[in-house]
C-alpha cells in the first residue's frame, strides 16, 4: 500500500498520488498516460484523472504497480474491483497484457496468448488469485516463454499450478534451472505453429524474442517504443554485449511484424512497412549513421 507520508512532491493535489517507493518501471505511464508522467527518477500524478475512463485507467495502474507505490486519498472500491476484473487486458485479437507487474522482474510487463493448441504466458506477472482464476477460465497455460533471466518472477508457481512447460535460453537458464525446454544457439526456430523463437543476445547472453503470427513480437527488454521520441529503442545500459545487441537488432529486420510488446518500455502497433522503417532507423542510429 502506498504511504501518504511518502507522497512525492511532484504529484499535483488530488485523490491519486505516487509515493517515494516508486522504481520508475513505467507501468503506470503505459496504463494511464493521461494521469501519470515521468518526473526525474519517479513517476508522478501530473493530471488527476477526470471522467470514468481515466479513473478506471488510474485504478488499473494502481493494481499493476509492482511496488504498491500508487495510492488514493479516498478509494472507490467498486471501481477498484471492476478494474481488477479487467486483467488480463486485451491488446488485440487473442493477445492480452497480464497486469499485476512483479517487483521480482523490476516491474516488467507480461503477456498472455490464448491459442487453441495451448495458451502461452510470456514472462511472469505476480502469482495472484485473480490472475490464476482468469487463466483457468481462459483455458489454462501450456507454455511459459521467458524472454531472459531478469523477468522470470513467479513463472515457477504458474508452471506448477498449470503444468506448463517453461522455455528459456541456455545462456540464461540459471534463472530457471528447472525449465522444461532449453533453447540453444542463435538460430531462430519454429517452436509451435504460428510461434517463432528468435535469439537476440545483447541485453543478456540469452535474450529471446517471440514472434506470433508474424504480427506480434514479444521483446522482453530487447526492444521497445519510446512515446516521447516516437522511435523504437533498445538498451544502452546494463548490456551484456553491445556489439551482439546491435547485430540482434539488425537480425529483426528480416522479420515482419506489426506489434512490439515489450517487458519494459512502451508497446506500439504500426503497419508492417512503418515498423520496418522504424527498426531500420534504430539500426542506423546504433551504427552511428545519419538518418536517410
pLDDT, tens digit (0-9, with 9 covering 90-100), for 144-200: 999 999 999 999 999 999 999 999 999 999 999 999 999 999 999 999 889 999 999
pLDDT, tens digit (0-9, with 9 covering 90-100), for 42-85: 999 999 999 999 999 999 999 999 999 999 999 999 999 999 99
**Does any domain span residue 292?**
no
Domain end, chosen from 84, 111, 134, is at 84
Mark whether 98 and 192 lie in a shared domain. Answer: yes
pLDDT, tens digit (0-9, with 9 covering 90-100), for 259-278: 999 999 999 999 999 999 99
Task: State residue 200's pLDDT score.
Answer: 98
pLDDT, tens digit (0-9, with 9 covering 90-100), for 197-234: 999 999 999 999 999 999 999 999 999 999 989 999 99
Mark whether 65 and 100 lie in a shared domain. Answer: no
Chain-wide mean pLDDT for the chain? 96
Mark whether 75 and 98 lie in a shared domain. Answer: no
Mark whether 174 and 80 lie in a shared domain. Answer: no
Task: State residue 1's pLDDT score.
Answer: 82
Mark whether 258 and 161 lie in a shared domain. Answer: yes
pTM for the model: 0.96
**Does any domain span residue 60?**
yes
Domain count, the chain: 2
Mark whether 155 and 39 lie in a shared domain. Answer: no
Mark whether 75 and 102 lie in a shared domain. Answer: no
Range of the domain at 71: 4-84
Residue in 163, 180, 218 with CA at minimum distance from that of residue 196: 218
Domain with 101 in it: what CATH number?
3.60.15.10
Amino acid at each position: 500500500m502506498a504511504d501518504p507520508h511518502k507522497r512525492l512532491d511532484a504529484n499535483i493535489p488530488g485523490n491519486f498520488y505516487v509515493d517515494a517507493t516508486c522504481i520508475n518501471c513505467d507501468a503506470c505511464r503505459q496504463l494511464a498516460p493521461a494521469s501519470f508522467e515521468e518526473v526525474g527518477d519517479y513517476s508522478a500524478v501530473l493530471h488527476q484523472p477526470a471522467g470514468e475512463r481515466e479513473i478506471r485507467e488510474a485504478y488499473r495502474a494502481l493494481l499493476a504497480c509492482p511496488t504498491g507505490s500508487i495510492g488514493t486519498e479516498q478509494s472507490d472500491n467498486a471501481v477498484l474491483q471492476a478494474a481488477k476484473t479487467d486483467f488480463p487486458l486485451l491488446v488485440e485479437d487473442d493477445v492480452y497484457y497480464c497486469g499485476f507487474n512483479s517487483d521480482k522482474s523490476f516491474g516488467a510487463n507480461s503477456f498472455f496468448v490464448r491459442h487453441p493448441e495451448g495458451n502461452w504466458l510470456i514472462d511472469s506477472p505476480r502469482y495472484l488469485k485473480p490472475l490464476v482464476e482468469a487463466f483457468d477460465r481462459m483455458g489454462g497455460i501450456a507454455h511459459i516463454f521467458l524472454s531472459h533471466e531478469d523477468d522470470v518472477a513467479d513463472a515457477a508457481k504458474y508452471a506448477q499450478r498449470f503444468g506448463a512447460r517453461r522455455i528459456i535460453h541456455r545462456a540464461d537458464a540459471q534463472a530457471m534451472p528447472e525449465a522444461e525446454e532449453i533453447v540453444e544457439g542463435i538460430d531462430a526456430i519454429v517452436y509451435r505453429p504460428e510461434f517463432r523463437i528468435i535469439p537476440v543476445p545483447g541485453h543478456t547472453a540469452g535474450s529471446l524474442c517471440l514472434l506470433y503470427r508474424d504480427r506480434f513480437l514479444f521483446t522482453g527488454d530487447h526492444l521497445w517504443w519510446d512515446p516521447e521520441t516516437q522511435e523504437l529503442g533498445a538498451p544502452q545500459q546494463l548490456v551484456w554485449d553491445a556489439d551482439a545487441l546491435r547485430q540482434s537488432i539488425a537480425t529483426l529486420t528480416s522479420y515482419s511484424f506489426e506489434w512490439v510488446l515489450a517487458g519494459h518500455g512502451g508497446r506500439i502497433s504500426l503497419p508492417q512497412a512503418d515498423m520496418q522503417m522504424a527498426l531500420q532507423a534504430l539500426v542506423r542510429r546504433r551504427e552511428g549513421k545519419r538518418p536517410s
